[in-house]
Chain A
Amino acid sequence: ETGVTQSPTHLIKTRGQQVTLRCSSQSGHNTVSWYQQALGQGPQFIFQYYREEENGRGNFPPRFSGLQFPNYSSELNVNALELDDSALYLCASSLAGVTEAFFGQGTRLTVV
């Protein structure tokens, strides 16, 4: 157990809808990152939040957005869902400048 919890574990949405995924970071960690993992692929970096500000983003469109709260928990929001958004979404918490990231078990999103 890493101490990083994500909810929900599974979710089915219709194309065009919006979705919010949630993550509780490990205690004491001030950085949270989100990753998308398609079937058979490695996780792809979406973005990262540090002290409630987005400070890094991968190659994902603006319809992927997020928030980090004062208690370092986080949300990932995806608007106008597309079929290709079907994936495992992973949240990882860490301390600034440290490579060891602690991942949650992920949210399996299916877009139909």
Chain B
Amino acid sequence: LAKTTQPISMDSYEGQEVNITCSHNNIATNDYITWYQQFPSQGPRFIIQGYKTKVTNEVASLFIPADRKSSTLSLPRVSLSDTAVYYCLVGDPSMYSGGGADGLTFGKGTHLIIQP
């Protein structure tokens, strides 16, 4: 599984756009990039997944350059409730369950703190 590197912590303020970058230099052809969010004493929650270019949903956007060696999670107009740990995961979805089962590989994540 491709190893990921992301900042340990970030600070921002309410109403700002926050961008969290993840490096994954040895990403494989079949790998997708997935982001999870985790609040204290809760399980992680899926935010967004992408393979290339840009993906947007109601919560966030994910930007992936052509070489796919990095990706950026963008959170628009953050609020205090966005304070959480954000994990970047890289892997082949077909290996996560069913025929192959590598499990999801979480690093230490990025602690995002939003201030008033």
Contact = CB atoms under 8 A, between A and B. Distances in A.
Interface of A: 2, 4, 30-31, 33, 35, 40-48, 50, 55-56, 58, 88, 90-92, 94-106, 108
A101 B103 CA distance: 10
B116 interface: no
A33 B34 CA distance: 17
Given A99-B32, A105-B42, A45 B104 contact: yes
Provide the main secondary structure of the chain B interface: loop
Contact of B101 (A4, A30, A56, A102): A56
Given A55-B98, A55-B100, 6 more contacts: A43-B44, A43-B104, A55-B101, A94-B96, A99-B46, A101-B104
Contacts of A46: 103
Nearest to B102: A56
A44 B99 contact: no
A47 B107 CA distance: 17
B105 interface: yes
